[in-house]
Amino acid sequence: EAIKGIPRDKVQILTKYGMRWDLAKGDFGFKSRDNDGNPIDVYKYSGKESIIRECEASLKRLGTDYIDLYQMHWPDKTTPIEESMEAVLRLIEQGKVRQAGVSNYSVEQMQRAERVLKLAANQVPFSMINRGIEAELVPYCVQHKKAILGYSPMERGLLTGKIKPGHTFADGDHRANYRFFKGDTIEKTDAFLRKIKPLADDKGASLSQLVLRWTIDRPGITVALAGARNADQAIQNARAADIQLAAADIAFIDRQLDELELA
């Protein structure tokens, strides 16, 4: 609805496949609830026919003839990677998908996938305090010219500076059991954010915007996928691209991160 009236070639549509809650097949993912509040089991499933069925359904819902980037949501332990990629390759050959992508894939899994088709991107978690992909995945993607779409760049709200020591999560908030919200991590992260806030103020930016700008400036990071609850938040996130960070600014932030020791 939001892009009606805009020429299709001026918009890129990215969507995913491989999470089924209407079929008890594949690798069990997690329990959730549907739109009516009923409990459901969600499975990671990327069988060939399932992928093709999901694509046809997505095209119909989106009202478009093709998807620019079609990504596997999570690896499916029950389906060979080659089978999944063969399905996407068929969709590419039919003109229904332009580029193939994956999410949460290791280097080894990407290499297996590329025996079948060329991958354009890998969507993986990345933030100032969650940088594990820099060891192997980033160098591989840089060398082989693969885009990295970093999700959770704000670490589920922790890097906004709004979650302070002593914060109590509401019942049902999954963050209460997430590793970055346990122990003294909130306290240490808050102290780090207070150190870099003067830099954000100097740039006329919010902490969130500074964090996002640093993230997209990291080598190999193509996109920082930041969530937004409303239009204003989306606009504020986008304005992070307007911030200019000098080499000295980045070095300052990196020094503070080097001193930040999290469990």
Task: Let me know the angle formed at the C-alpha of 76 by 75 and 81, rounded to the nearest 5 degrees.
Answer: 80
Distance of CA 120 to the CA centre of its chain: 15
Give how many domains the chain has, as a whole number: 1
pLDDT higher than threshold 70 for residue 263: no
Per residue in 33-45, pLDDT (tens digit) is: 888 999 999 999 9
* 83 falls within a domain: yes
Q: Quick one: pLDDT at residue 132?
A: 95
* 219 falls within a domain: no
Provide the domain limits for residue 34. Answer: 1-125
* 233 falls within a domain: no
Report the predicted TM-score, pTM, of the whole model to 2 decimal places.
Answer: 0.92
Q: Quick one: pLDDT at residue 10?
A: 95
pLDDT higher than threshold 90 for residue 225: yes
* 226 falls within a domain: no
* 51 falls within a domain: yes
28 close to 38: Cβ distance less than 8 angstroms: no
The pairing of strands 119-125 and 97-103 is: parallel
> Helix 81-93 and helix 48-62: axis angle, to 10°?
40
Which CATH number does the domain housing residue 57 bear?
3.20.20.100
Q: Quick one: pLDDT at residue 163?
A: 86
For 185-212, what is the mean pLDDT? 95
For 111-138, what is the mean pLDDT? 97
Per residue in 83-117, pLDDT (tens digit) is: 999 999 999 999 999 999 999 999 999 999 999 99
* 118 falls within a domain: yes
* 247 falls within a domain: no
* 258 falls within a domain: no
